[in-house]
Amino acid sequence: MGYKYNKENILETGYHVLRKNGYHKVGINEILKEAGIPKGSFYNFFESKEDFTVQVIQQYGRSNRQWMEKFFQQEMSPLALVRAFYKHLIDINEQDDYASGCLVNAMSNETGRLYDELAKASNESFESWIEVIAEIIKKGQDSGEITKAHTAKELAEFVHTGLYGTFARMKVTRSRQFMDQWFDMSMKFIEA
């Protein structure tokens, strides 16, 4: 029962710190300092650093899925929505000065083969997002805007992991140039 600190706020802080720095670079003390809580409270809320990170991923997975569902409810054609969605993600990363990419991609790459619980949480978030993207792509296929050469889920996975691939290039070049190039090619790929 909530006393002084709020678990969701701590997870939110963890999201920002982990997204920018990765898992092994960040120490518990950095999170305590950033969130303004003492260590006792942290280990009251969370069993371990891994458990904390799992919950960060889960909370982000849920809130991002909700945001996506809302985004795809805008009044536009399915293909236009997909285009706007990825354009928006690229814009966000530019505003972020190319510092972070996606938490789930970062955690998957850095810890996916090292810690089972982190892998599971990352995978579940990813798949939950793919459901939403596949749904809008399916609508585009039904309306004839999007290719039926592959299933909606295959297209969603192909495009979204494609974006993840560009994050490595983005971080290293500190530029959106390659993401824009990827965008044009990917959007052409899914067009009917």
Stretch that binds a second copy, among 35-43, 63-71, 137-145, 181-189 (CB under 8 A): 181-189
Query: Does residue 39 bind DNA (CB under 7 A)?
Result: yes
- Distance in Å from the first CA to the final CA of the chain: 53
What amino acid is encoded at 136 in this protein?
Answer: I
Binding to DNA by CB under 7 A, coded x per residue (else -) over 42-81, reads: -xxx--xxx-------------------------------
From residue 165, alpha-carbon distances to 6, 11, 115, 155 in Å are 35, 26, 22, 15
Rounded Cα distance between 7 and 41, Å, is 10
Rounded Cα distance between 65 and 126, Å, is 10
Return the one option of DNA, a second copy, none that residue 22 interacts with (CB less than 5 to 8 A, by type). a second copy
Return the one option of a second copy, DNA, none that residue 29 interacts with (CB less than 5 to 8 A, by type). DNA
Rounded Cα distance between 108 and 157, Å, is 15
Angle, CA of 160, 149 and 168, to the nearest 5°:
20
From residue 46, alpha-carbon distances to 4, 55, 126, 133 in Å are 16, 9, 23, 32
Residue 29 C-beta: closest distance to a second copy, Å: 15
Query: Does residue 157 bind a second copy (CB under 8 A)?
Result: yes
Residues that contact a second copy, how many (by CB under 8 A): 47
Contacts with DNA, residue ranges (CB under 7 A): 1, 3-5, 26-30, 37-41, 43-45, 48-50
Contacts with a second copy, residue ranges (CB under 8 A): 20-25, 98-101, 104-106, 108-110, 112-114, 119, 122-123, 126, 149-150, 154, 157-158, 161-169, 171-174, 178, 181-182, 185, 188-189
